[in-house]
């Protein structure tokens, strides 16, 4: 049995061979049932094409949140998540929002941002002017790289120029950052955006006399955002001896806490991401990108804040709104390659990235409502412990 993790050419082995090597390393019997679990589900050869050194799949619970109405449409939401109570809470809150119309969503912009960094700019003002004079040429060149995207109504829509002076950059001299604004239509768009950045960097260096630096999309996709809102009748919120009015007030107060304390805001937003990530994962999208965008957006004005807000309207109903960057796609990446991502998109019955992003925002808002309702009343431990107990019992049954 090898005890060294230095395994040359692991990537060259077949999936079953890799499993054997890993099992031998870890001292796991070839007939261990946990090892067998790696083989169930998706075709390993397909997974092998996604990443390196594949030994199998890591199955997570694939649950379905029920009861959602989003923009007047009934939606079942696939959620891939390991945390107890996430799917139940989303379904419950969607049920409470149903009688008042469910969730209303909108798209706020559709452009991804690609950054080209230009370091040691010799003359900042002249370089900025040169980029502005070449703006039309740069945009036309960026559009010429992806005629399919342009035919679909997307492609590079414009550019922004941002500057940093040498005293800000600490070693990079005067810096210009050019932002290419790219409508990626139904793709998340990393490939399209990164290609534009890489291919235009030499021309930008030529125009400015600067040294080209990084060329990559920004996950602070603040020009591609979604907004979801809902209204819930106060009486629908009543819980375990707490009247609806009291619960609505408690939710508003809990949300207020997250507006002034970043320590609370981080947890508040984690609760939102409890709803968002599982749908992003189920549809084969890049949840790290969505997470990065959400938290950077939450800190956009210099202090970290809640992504959502809750208040009561004149009738006393509870109203909530959530807005965040949403960089997801329904084409490209693994969204169309992974059978379960395809299945998720089919269950959701969405075909565009915009539709998907809007449903995801609705789920984030529902999840946030569930957390604040529990926290403002009985606390989360009661519900959590009930489910945790079930997990313990399951673990005990497994021996
Ligand atoms: C736990 O996964 C999520 C919560 O902590 C969210 C929140 O505090 O709002 C319950």
Domain of residue 251 covers 10-108+226-398
In this structure, the answer to whether residues 208 and 347 fall within a common structural domain is no
Cβ proximity of 141 and 208 under 8 Å: no
Residue to substitute in 254, 275, 371 for testing ligand 1 pocket (most ligand atoms within 8 angstroms of CB): 371
Alpha-carbon distance 384 to 274, whole Å? 14
pLDDT of residue 43: 83
Continuous segment of H or E residues that includes residue 74: strand 73-80
- Domain harbouring 289, CATH code: 3.90.770.10
pLDDT of residue 46: 87
Given 197, 218, 239, which residue is the final one in a domain?
Answer: 218
Alpha-carbon distance 127 to 139, whole Å? 17
Q: Is residue 1 part of a domain?
A: no
12 annotated active-site? no
Cα 251 to averaged position of ligand 1 atoms, centre (Å):
13
301 annotated active-site? no
Cα 270 to averaged position of ligand 1 atoms, centre (Å):
6
Q: Is residue 5 part of a domain?
A: no
Q: Is residue 3 part of a domain?
A: no
Q: Is residue 144 part of a domain?
A: yes
In this structure, the answer to whether residues 99 and 116 fall within a common structural domain is no
Alpha-carbon distance 105 to 225, whole Å? 11
Cα 273 to averaged position of ligand 1 atoms, centre (Å):
9
Buried b (16+ CB within 10 A) or exposed e, 58-72: eeeebbebbbbbbbe
Q: Is the CB of 271 under 6 A from ligand 1?
A: yes
pLDDT of residue 180: 98
Position in ligand 1 atom list of the atom nearest CA 264 = 8
In this structure, the answer to whether residues 103 and 115 fall within a common structural domain is no
In this structure, the answer to whether residues 103 and 116 fall within a common structural domain is no
In this structure, the answer to whether residues 345 and 293 fall within a common structural domain is yes
pLDDT of residue 120: 98
Q: 100 by DSSP, 3-state: which?
A: helix
Assigned token pair, 390: 């079930």
Q: Is residue 191 part of a domain?
A: yes
Cα 375 to averaged position of ligand 1 atoms, centre (Å):
8
Q: 174 by DSSP, 3-state: which?
A: coil
Assigned token pair, 319: 């109203």
Using only the alpha carbons of the chain, give its radius of gyration. 24
Biggest alpha carbon–alpha carbon distance for the chain: 72
Torsion of CA 123, 126, 128, 134, to 10 degrees: -130
Q: Which of 222, 245, 270, 378 is catalytic?
A: 270
Position in ligand 1 atom list of the atom nearest CA 254 = 9
Nearest CA to ligand 1 atom 1: 271
Cα 371 to averaged position of ligand 1 atoms, centre (Å):
6
pLDDT of residue 85: 92
Q: Is residue 380 part of a domain?
A: yes
Continuous segment of H or E residues that includes residue 76: strand 73-80
Among candidate residues 22, 20, 21, 62, the one with its CA nearest the CA of residue 42: 62
Instruction: Give strand pairing partners of 211.
Output: 119
Nearest CA to ligand 1 atom 10: 371
In this structure, the answer to whether residues 153 and 119 fall within a common structural domain is yes
Alpha-carbon distance 360 to 75, whole Å? 11
Residues 121-152: tens digit of each pLDDT: 999 999 999 999 999 999 999 999 999 999 99
- Give the count of domains, the chain: 2
Nearest CA to ligand 1 atom 9: 268
Helix H segments across the chain? 15-26, 33-37, 44-50, 86-97, 124-133, 135-144, 147-151, 166-169, 190-208, 244-260, 262-282, 287-298, 339-348, 353-376, 381-397
* Sign of the C-alpha dihedral computed for residues 293, 296, 300 and 304 taken in this order: positive
pLDDT of residue 190: 96
Given 171, 186, 218, which residue is the final one in a domain?
Answer: 218
Nearest CA to ligand 1 atom 2: 271
In this structure, the answer to whether residues 275 and 205 fall within a common structural domain is no
In this structure, the answer to whether residues 346 and 239 fall within a common structural domain is yes
Given 193, 218, 243, which residue is the final one in a domain?
Answer: 218
Residues of the chain predicted below pLDDT 50: none
């Amino acid at each position: 049995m090898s005890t060294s993790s230095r395994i040359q050419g692991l990537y060259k082995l077949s999936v079953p061979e890799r499993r054997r090597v890993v099992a031998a390393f870890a001292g796991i019997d070839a007939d261990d049932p946990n090892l067998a679990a790696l083989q169930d589900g998706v075709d390993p050869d397909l997974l092998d094409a996604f990443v390196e050194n594949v030994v199998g799949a890591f199955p997570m619970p694939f649950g379905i949140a029920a009861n959602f109405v989003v923009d007047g449409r009934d939606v079942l939401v696939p959620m891939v998540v390991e945390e107890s109570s996430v799917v139940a809470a989303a379904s419950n809150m969607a049920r409470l929002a149903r009688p008042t119309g469910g969730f209303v969503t909108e798209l706020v912009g559709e452009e991804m941002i690609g950054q080209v960094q230009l370091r040691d700019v010799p003359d900042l003002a002249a370089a900025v002017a040169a980029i502005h004079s070449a703006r039309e040429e740069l945009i036309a060149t960026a559009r010429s790289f992806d005629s399919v995207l342009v035919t679909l109504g997307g492609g590079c829509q414009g550019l922004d120029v941002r500057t940093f002076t040498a005293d800000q950059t600490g070693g990079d001299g005067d810096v210009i950052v050019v932002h290419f604004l790219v409508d990626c239509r139904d793709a998340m768009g990393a490939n399209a955006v990164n290609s534009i950045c890489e291919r235009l960097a030499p021309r930008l260096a030529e125009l400015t006399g600067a040294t080209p630096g990084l060329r990559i999309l920004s996950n602070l996709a603040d020009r591609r955002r979604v907004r979801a809102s809902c209204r819930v009748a106060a009486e629908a919120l009543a819980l375990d001896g707490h009247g609806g009015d009291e619960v609505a007030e408690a939710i508003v107060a809990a949300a207020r806490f997250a507006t002034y304390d970043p320590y609370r805001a981080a947890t508040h937003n984690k609760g939102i991401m409890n709803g968002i990530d599982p749908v992003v994962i189920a549809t084969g999208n890049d949840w790290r990108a969505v997470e990065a965008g959400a938290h950077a957006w939450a800190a956009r004005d210099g202090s970290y804040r809640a992504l959502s807000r809750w208040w009561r309207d004149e009738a006393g109903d509870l109203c909530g709104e959530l807005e965040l960057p949403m960089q997801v796609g329904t084409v490209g990446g693994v969204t169309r390659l992974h059978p379960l991502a395809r299945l998720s998109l089919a269950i959701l019955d969405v075909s565009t990235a915009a539709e998907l992003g809007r449903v995801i925002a609705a789920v984030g808002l529902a999840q946030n409502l569930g957390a604040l309702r529990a926290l403002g009343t009985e606390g989360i431990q009661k519900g959590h412990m009930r489910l945790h107990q079930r997990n313990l019992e399951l673990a005990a049954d497994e021996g």
